[in-house]
Amino acid sequence: MGLKVPAALLAFEPTLPAAVAFSGGADSTALLLAAARAWPGQIFAIHVHHGLQAAADDFARHCRQFCDGLGVSLHQVNVDARHESGESPEDAARKARYTALAQAGLALGVKAVWLAQHADDQVETMLLALSRGAGLPGLAAMPARFERNGMRFERPLLGVSGPAIREWLRAEGVSFVEDPTNEDRGFTRNRIRHELLPALEKAFPQFRDTFARSARHAAQAQRVLSAVAAEDLARVGNPPSIAALRTLERARQANVLRHWLLAAHKVHSNAAQLEELMNQVAACSTRGHDIRIKVGNGFVERNGECLGFRPHLDA
């Protein structure tokens, strides 16, 4: 994972023209600088101004000055990242950021928006997933390419370590801003970064490579499970027939129910909710047996001989 930024970009075979999500921090600065040098005239920058920190205006000014020096067009988007009741501030900010980046990318006419997450971010994501008891989707961590809100997103630096990025910037004599929240160890991700990663580096020097390999294995296995779930959903119906669900063994039943909720209703079910739902399906042997279980932002209910999903607003 000692790969330097320019080599990683050239090996990535990126989609062009592209826009870099540019915060002014080390990672996005390195990505924007290397991309602008490699593909002049085909790279734009998008700066999302969350307004969550006193220094946000200073970050925006720095980004403007840096882009002016590079000759790169900067598009700034101001967003309201306040969270709703029951939603974490981090999740709210992330959703607002992706929506803003996608909309800005579409307006600019680029084919992809590039994100500057790197190998250390990938390890942190996997460790967070493990700490929460996540399944394969969590352990697969961050994909190199994905679609969201009508825009293609790409992560060209997943094979580069955080220290390698900063080493390259120092060699280039390039300045960047430091987000003070990155030092706040009240956030789990920051504790992982400052406390766990140095210990892993000492005990397992190749941990970035091995974690990346495990993430690829998890992603591959998840693709197989998703294909099986799609086939099973075609058999049990959409919405799923309760009788047909009862013919599946429990692990396969969980797989197809999880797939149905996500594909048809954009709802993620946790392990406890899924277990209770399967218990109710197993007990549902008569017409009079009711099912109503809270999942995500609504309820899974019995609707005749099938399962249905009712959002909170309609409940």
Structure-block tokens of residue 29: 């600065």
How many CB atoms are closer than 10 A to CB 219?
17
Q: What is the CATH number of the domain that holds 140?
A: 3.40.50.620
277 in any annotated domain? yes
From 214-223, 240-249, 296-305, the region with the lowest mean pLDDT: 296-305
The mean pLDDT of 240-253, rounded to a whole number, is 95
Mean pLDDT over residues 253-268, rounded? 94
User: Are both 245 and 194 inside the same structural domain?
Assistant: no
Backbone angles phi, psi at 116, to 5 degrees: -100, 15
pLDDT for position 249 = 96
How far apart CA 236 and CA 174 sit, in angstroms, is: 58
DSSP state of 111: S
In a shared domain, residues 145 and 281: no
| Number of residues written out for the chain | 315
Residue 4 pLDDT more than 90? no
Residue 1 pLDDT more than 70?
no
Hey, what's the torsion of the CAs at 281, 287, 293, 299, to 10 degrees?
Answer: 120
Residues 42 and 170 in one domain: yes
Beta bridge partner(s), residue 303: 306
Residues 150 and 261 in one domain: no
Q: Are residues 184 and 118 in the same domain?
A: yes
Q: What is the pLDDT confidence band of residue 287, given thresholds at 50, 70 and 90?
A: low
Higher pLDDT, 188 or 198: 198
Q: What average pLDDT does range 244-270 have in this prediction?
A: 94
Is 251 found in the same domain as 200? no
* Dist CA 32 CA 36 (whole Å): 6
pLDDT above 90 (res 220): yes
Q: Is 63 a residue whose pLDDT tops 50?
A: yes
Give the residue-averaged pLDDT of 88-115. 88
What average pLDDT does the segment 46-50 reach? 89
Identify the band that residue 93 occupies on the pLDDT scale cut at 50, 70 and 90. confident
Query: What pLDDT is attached to residue 47?
Result: 96
CB 28 within 8 A of CB 22: yes
Answer yes or no: is 226 within a domain: no
Average pLDDT for residues 34-54, to the nearest whole number? 88
Q: What integer best gives the mean pLDDT of the chain?
A: 90
- Residue 132 CB burial class (10 angstroms; 0-12, 13-18, ≥19): exposed
Helical residues (DSSP H) of the chain, grouped into ranges: 5-12, 26-38, 56-70, 89-108, 119-131, 136-139, 162-172, 188-191, 197-203, 207-236, 242-245, 250-265, 271-283
For residue 315, the model assigns a pLDDT of 42
Residues 155 and 94 in one domain: yes
pLDDT tens-digit map of 290-314: 899 998 889 999 999 999 999 876 4
Mean pLDDT of 203-222: 94
Q: Same domain for 189 and 269?
A: no
Looking at the structure of the chain, the number of domains it has is 2
Evaluate whether residue 305 is within a structural domain. yes
With bands split at pLDDT 50, 70 and 90, how would you rate the model's confidence at 188? Answer: confident
pLDDT of residue 314: 46
d(CA 171, CA 225): 45
Q: Is residue 110 part of a domain?
A: yes
| Same domain? 53 vs 200 | yes
Together in a domain, 132 and 255: no
Q: By residue range, what is the domain housing residue 262?
A: 237-314
Contact 27, 35 (CB under 8 A): no
pLDDT of residue 73 exceeding 50, the answer is yes
Residues 163 and 290 in one domain: no
